[in-house]
Structure formats: C-alpha cells, structure tokens
Structure 1
Amino acid sequence: IAALCALSAGGAAMSFFAGIDESAEYVFKETHFDKMTGLLTRQAIVGKVAAAAAETLETGEPVYLIDIDIDRFKQINDAIGYSHGDELIRAFTKRLKESMPEDVVIGRLGAGEFAVLLPDREIRGYLERFLETFINRMLEPYQLQTHLQSVSMSVGIVAMPKDGVDPVLILRRSNLALQNARAGGIGNWSVFHAD
C-alpha cells in the first residue's frame, strides 16, 4: 500500500509539474504571438529589437526597424464591420509576409500597426527602391469575402545603430518617422532624422 501511495503521489507531482510547463508555454504564446495573425506581439518585438541592436553593435551591419501603419484603420473597421476588419488584417499580414525576405522578423504592434526588422544585407543598401516596391504592392486592393478593400498606409524607418540601440527609443523614433510620413500624404514613408 505504501508503494502504491508513493507511486500515486509521484504521479500527482509529475502531473502538477507538467501543468506548470504547459502553463508557462501558454503564457509565452499569449504574450509573444498575436492571436489573429500569428505574428510577434509588441512585447516580443521589443526583445527582438534589443537582440538586433546588440548584433548590429557587434557586426556594424545596419538593421532597419520599419513601422507600418494602415491609415485610419479604426474608421475602416467601423465602416466595414469588425469581422471584415479582421479579414483585412489577415490579408494585409499575408501580403506583408510575402513582400518581405523570408527570414525577417515581423510583428503586430497594434490594431493596424506592424513592425519589420530588416537587416541591410537583405536589401544590399537599396532601401529606397525596396520601400517603393513594397509600398506599391501593399497599396493594391485586398479581396475580402464581400468586396475589394483599398487602404492607404504610412511607413516610418529607423536605422540601428545610427539612430540608437535602446529598444524603447528605437520604437519611439520609428513612430515619429511614421507620423512624419503620414503628414506627407497617402503611401508615404519617412526615415527618422534626429534634427
């Protein structure tokens, strides 16, 4: 009987610890991956920016943080309904992934806001040409279940290490560049300048 009790207690302990592992994995997924798109969350992107900043300091190779925002997404969402808004976000995400080199880091920062960590080696110094092609592709209408949906977007870019290496500062500066792009009109992009 004592052996059975010990076996039962051991099984309960293993079950308890397995539950902890499953809970930790659940919390990690909830905090690091966006439920709708499967992209990294803002929290996870901050960690990836920190890692990219450390790497760029070591290698000297620039890495760009590209902040992409669907202009007036809240108004679009209100006009077409939340289910179609979700459909638009998934279609936008799919095209975003298809438009980027395979190994880049992509995350969703907010409702209609996305971030891409793009090493310079992926575009070999041709940032402007890459952005023009990318933006033109992303501005093509999206086929939703019931209609074609057009969007406009703004893009802000920060270069690490030139514009900093602190993840919070980098995200703030990419957003400043994004706001500057938005002030310039539909489909604009802007590179952060400290002045």
Structure 2
Amino acid sequence: MGKPLHVLLVEDSPDDAELLELELLRGGFMPTIRRVETGDEMRSALAASPDWDVVLSDYHLPTFSADAALATLQETGLDLPFIIMSGVVRAEDAVNLLKRGAHDFLDKASLARLVPAIEREIRDAHERVQRRQAEERVRVLSLATEQSPVSVVITDREGIIGYVNPKFEKATGYSAAESVGRPIDFIHRRDGGEETYRAMWATIRSGQEWRGEFCNQRRDGQLFWEYATVSPLEDANGVITHFVAVKEDITARRSYEERLLRQANYDDLTGLPNRLLMLDRLEQGIAVAHRRNAFAALLYIDLDRFKNVNDSLGHTAGDRLLKEAASRLSECVREGDTLARMGGDEFVIILPGVDSGVAVQKVADRILDIFSPPFSIIGQDHFVTASIGISLFPNDGSDGQVLLRNAELSMYKAKEQGRGRYQFFTRELNERMQERLLLEKQLRGAAGR
C-alpha cells in the first residue's frame, strides 16, 4: 500500500494533472489531489484543510501564476513545500521564485525528479517544523527563566556563573554584569555553612541532584535564607557541562519557624527555657554526669511572698518582679548550666557535671545572697526571698522526673523551715514522702469502700 500524499495542485490542464498522478503512483505514493486554477480556489482549499503535504504549481495559468500562488501560500503562514512545474520558463524567472521561497523547479517534460523532489522537500519541511518547535521550546524556557518568581543561576563545571535571571538580581542586589564570571558561592555568608557547600559539590559532581538551605548575604549586607535545588546538566555523552541552581527565598518561613520553636521552648515573659526545654536539658545533664562519673544537681527555686506583691500591685508589677528575679538568677549560673522558668514564681537551675555537694551549696548561697536586696517595684521596695530545694544525681534519683520531684519536695521543706533558705533532699524526706503516698492510697481505698 502506497504512502498517503495530499497534494494541492495549481494546474489548468486535466491531462497534465492525470500524468502527474500516475507518476506519483509509480513512485509509491497514494495521492489525494485537489486541483485549483485561481487564487480564490487556492485560498479556499488551504483554509479547508491543514493537512496538505505539498503544493505543486504550473508556472503560468490563464488567470493565475506560480508567482501569485506562492504569494497566496505565504499569506497563510503555512510552511508547505512549494514546487514549480513548467515546460517553458526563463532561468532568471525560476531563480527569482526560488529566492522568494519556492523550494524546487521541475520540467513538466521530465518528471523523473518529481518523486525524489517531493520526498526531499517533505523531509526538509518536517525538519523545519522540528527546528521551529525546538526554538519555541527554547523561547518559552527562556521566558520562563527570565520571568521566574525564583532565582535561577547557571554555572560551568567549575561553578563559575554564566547566567543569572532578573529574580536573582532583585533578590541579591547584584546585577548580571556583576555576577557573571564569579563563583556561585560569592554571596555565601563566610562565617558558616562550609560543610553544606562541600556536601553540595560532592553530590552534584557525582551526577546527582542536591537540595538544601543556605544563608546568603545581599549586596547591602543584609542576610537572607534560600532553599536551593542544584542539578548537573549533561551533554549527549553523559558528561557534566554545567550546573543549574533554582533558589527560593525562605527567610520569612525560617523566621516564622524560629518563632514557633522559641514559643515552644522558651518562656515569653523572661526569655528563659520553659519546662519542656528544661526537661530536655536535664536529661542531657544527667548523661554528661554519667559519662564523667560526676554529679548533676537540680535546684528548685520558689519566690517567697511573691503572691503578696502580685495580688496587691497587680499582674504587671508581678511580671516586672519575675523578670528582675530571672535577671538576678542568671548571675548565679555558668556557661553550660541551665536556668529555666517552670511557671508562676518557680524556677529551676541545672548544674551538670559538678564535683560535689559543696559546689552546689556555693551556688545556693549565691542565690540567697543575691535575693537579699529588695526589689524596687513601682517606686516601692519589696523583700522577696527564695526557698530552694536541691537534689543530686545519682544519689537522689537516676532520671529527670525523680530528681525534679525530689527537689520540689526539698523546696517545700525549706519553706516549712522559715523560707529564704535551701534544703538538700534527704532519706528522711524520702521516707516521709513514701508514708504520705501510702496514707493517700489507704484513704482512697477507704473512700472506695
């Protein structure tokens, strides 16, 4: 079965049309031919179907011509092979039409070249379509890159920038002229993140895509965070020739995440670690003490007579006192220690890796001393002391919850003894606690009966 071929034939001779059809059949085609003789007929045929494969045109017709037919085809914008067939035509006229866009010229008296010419021109037309499609894809990709809402950077194999898009210029403050020729990390903040860059290069040079976050510096010195996807570009042989980085500014997102993290782990009023973070630090302190075969201490601190200030002067005054108390307590801890607010007027200090109870006692004495001066609140002096309960790892407990409970119990014992003092956890306190728990259990049992 022959190859389908849709032919628009500009020809006034039915006999010549028949001869042409026979030649196409002999050449292995199965032609569908529509013959037209005027410009209107040709325009109508071109508008009726987009599926024409080739236009064959006689050079001269009574009311039409190859010159006019070529102009009619070009008006439509269709890229179809246009082949002129004639018996008598001057060479300069044929050359003129070829210059204007005709693809070939054949002698009607010798149609041996007809089939090869059609096959060649159809093949060339297909290649032109593919080339235009590729050019259009490049154009669209170029527009997408130029108008992208994220930064795009293309480098050579050594990471030297060859292209940046307008979003990169806007995000960094560096123009394309200032950026091209510089290494991709020239905006990278120099005091951190070197490991991140080393990991990135190791990944992309192995042919894999890398994703991660960078802290960069704008031209005006302002820092900003970007989430980057960096990919290698390979040639037809699989050799890496370039790298492309697509980067999104995530500064706002990072700031929001950091605020959420701080809200989850820190006290809003004092800025100190909250109970959640304190428990985590306590477990870390226990682990440090265990590794060093040392002690860890937990000091549970409650402000004496705070309620009097809060109730008489209001919550605003109470908040000011709590902030001042936190400030004083912060003077009693070293780097590596943790000062946390448990809530209300209760604070905790964690001392990891202390050598003995004597060192803990010195800290407790320091706290009592620093609470001796009055607090000046709304122009009045208020004496607020601290009662402190102390538990030690591993003597008073091997996990954080036990140490916390025992320190709190010791703090209440200090209050019973007159406030403004500290109390280490003792065996007696433990026995009293066990007795109280047993009594509570018996009372619940009796109530149940």
User: What interval of TM-score do these two structures reach, taking the shorter chain for normalisation?
Assistant: 0.7 to 0.9
- Residue by residue over 1:142-174, the C-alpha shift from the partner in whole angstroms, topping out at 9 and shown as x without a partner, is 123411111132101110122223222222221
Aligned CA distance change for structure 1 residues 112 and 2 (closer, same or farther; 3 Å): same
C-alpha separation in 1, matches of 2:326 and 2:356: 20
1:154 is aligned, of 380, 387, 407, to: 387
Percent sequence identity is: 24
Aligned CA distance change for structure 1 residues 124 and 23 (closer, same or farther; 3 Å): same
2:346 is aligned, of 113, 137, 140, to: 113
Residue in 2 aligned with 1:14?
248
Higher RCO, Cα 8 Å, sep 6+? 1
| 1:159-178 matched pairs, under 5 angstroms | 159-178=392-411
C-alpha separation in 1, matches of 2:425 and 2:357: 20
Aligned CA distance change for structure 1 residues 63 and 4 (closer, same or farther; 3 Å): farther
| 1:64-79 matched pairs, under 5 angstroms | 64-79=297-312
C-alpha separation in 1, matches of 2:358 and 2:307: 35
List alignment gaps of at least 5 residues for structure 2: 1-139, 152-166, 168-246, 432-449
Displacement of 1:43: 0.7
Counterpart AA for 1:14: E
Displacement of 1:3: 4.7
| 1:130-141 matched pairs, under 5 angstroms | 130-141=363-374
Aligned CA distance change for structure 1 residues 151 and 4 (closer, same or farther; 3 Å): farther
Aligned CA distance change for structure 1 residues 122 and 32 (closer, same or farther; 3 Å): farther
Aligned CA distance change for structure 1 residues 4 and 184 (closer, same or farther; 3 Å): farther
| 1:1-195 matched pairs, under 5 angstroms | 1-5=140-144, 7-8=148-149, 14-15=248-249, 18-119=251-352, 121=354, 125-193=358-426, 194-195=430-431
Is the Cα–Cα contact under 8 Å of residues 297 and 354 in structure 2 kept in the other structure? no
TM-score, length basis structure 1: 0.85
C-alpha separation in 1, matches of 2:336 and 2:424: 23
- Residue by residue over 1:68-124, the C-alpha shift from the partner in whole angstroms, topping out at 9 and shown as x without a partner, is 111242332111222211111111111111233344211111121111112464888
C-alpha separation in 1, matches of 2:334 and 2:355: 7
C-alpha separation in 2, matches of 1:18 and 1:130: 41
What's the RMSD between the two structures over aligned residues? 2.6
Q: Which has the higher helix share?
A: 1
Is the Cα–Cα contact under 8 Å of residues 69 and 114 in structure 1 kept in the other structure? yes
TM-score, length basis structure 2: 0.39
Range with bigger deviation, 183-192 or 126-135: 126-135
Range with bigger deviation, 147-156 or 134-143: 134-143
Displacement of 1:140: 2.2
Counterpart AA for 2:374: P
Counterpart AA for 1:64: A
List alignment gaps of at least 5 residues for structure 1: none
